[in-house]
Structure 1
């Protein structure tokens, strides 16, 4: 009888453990497949992400509230056009990536070039290795007015063309309502701000030039919020130098 009980106990354990181990293995492989990010691709890194996942936002599309302590209640965006089609699917926390609706590589190259141009046109901004991602290029301010990782304003992901950036809550609301992105799973404020700011969001990869213009408008809103100043565009630069086109009739 004792041997029979022992056998049943082992059978139950195997029945539970085998599917669990398989699930963990596949989930770990999915974590690795998301590519490089701010978390090491190790068992410890995976365990850290899974632990943080217990505190993730339930609804990343719900707009954040403007904190009562925030003196600047309004953002700099007044409106954004509606993004066409359904939202793309996303996965992960660190890394946090877009997994479909991936545009051609040339769109990422245009985005990266446009971000570089912003640094050329604004002396207080510069490019560097992303502080959040620990790889890839980020946009930074030398005079941050908001607490982010090293004054980082945004960074773009070469693998999917999406971005992460920090927005004023009012601007995040407009962006979310337009369908241009979602809140980072850990962007709920409080003690989680040791990992990402409360206004940290993902902006979906632009699929064409028209969407790129909107995304760059959102990038400038992030720069306004983090750097505390209006960010000049290429058109502003031409206008200030007297080279802008005369559109009067």
Structure 2
């Protein structure tokens, strides 16, 4: 009898089986419990990969990182006011006087209700994307062109360059923040700190960018974010406002859904302009809307 035959003969020996019964049962139980979890994790990972690169490393460890972010992420992204706040003024207080205002064209925090319900947004923390009502490539190009035109029309206020929040594959609109060295008195330092809090401590001034499927992230005033969420044009990012004034992105950092027609593209334009007016409040320069 060969060594291999002797090995398997020993494994089926009744005395050997009885001696190893408990460990075998334990291993079998662990395998039965873990296998569905591994299958679910693999399925989630494959679904996450379909969203494409954005913000965090595009591999298994990036997926694990975003999974760990669920420990701090918010689930009330479609609530007009984030819990536990009951009043808009309480949310706005950490961002200064600018945060209590609306910056829509009519100045009334009014926005028409979006028709047809919200698109599907998977529950991943990052990247945040929509997987239904995907915009055609021409619409995505038009969105990017509008942000570029907004930067070109307001060169003293904005610049268009690679995104920090989403990575170099995405172009973003940045507020030209004054450097700390030019803020040579206490009042200017206070203004600079307020601006950084307004756009998020982790954004470095980035306040808008377009995704490949047509959705857009933009920082709105809390008043306008509330109105956009109520009208079902947007929802907050899962980590928006987490850690309050030290947040990477503020409470008004929302995902605006991809426009489906010309009328919705007009709403997209107005939302981008509202964000631009908000982040530049107090600069003493009026935002010029592109033609």
User: How far does residue 67 in structure 1 lie from its aligned partner after superposition?
Assistant: 3.5
Of 59, 62, 67 in structure 2, the residue corresponding to residue 50 of structure 1 is: 67
Q: Please, what is the CA RMSD of the aligned residues? A: 1.9
Aligned equivalent of 2:208 = 154
1:193-245 deviation line (CA, Å, top 9, x unaligned): 5432232110000111111111111111111122225421135xxxxxxxxxx
Q: Aligned to 1:67, what secondary structure does the other structure show? A: helix
Match of 1:116, SS?
Answer: helix
1:11-22 superposed matches below 5 A: 11-22=28-39
Correspondence 1:80 to 2:111: yes
User: How many angstroms apart in 2 are the aligned matches of 1:90 and 1:25?
Assistant: 19
Q: Rg: which structure is higher?
A: 2
User: 1:68 and 1:192, CA in 2 relative to 1: closer, same or farther beyond 3 A?
Assistant: closer
CA contact (8 A) 1:63 1:169 kept: no
Question: Measured at CA, do residues 119 and 167 of structure 1 come closer, stay the same or move farther in structure 2, by a change above 3 Å?
Answer: same
- Segments of structure 2 that go 5 or more residues without pairing to the other structure are 1-17, 82-87, 179-194
**2:173 counterpart of 1:139:** yes
Partners of 1:143 and 1:227 within 8 A in 2: no
Query: Any idea what the Cα deviations from partners look like across 1:131-170, whole Å, max 9, x if unmatched?
Result: 1101211011213733431211200012x10001111111
Q: 1:47, CA displacement in angstroms?
A: 1.7
The 3-state SS of whatever aligns with 1:128 is strand
- TM-score normalised to structure 2 length: 0.75
For residues 5-59 of structure 1, the C-alpha deviation after alignment (integer angstroms, 9 at most, x for no partner) is 1221111011011111111111111222210111002332222211111222222
- Of 89, 92, 98 in structure 1, the residue corresponding to residue 120 of structure 2 is 89
TM-score (norm 1): 0.87
2:92 matches 1:67: yes
Aligned length: 234
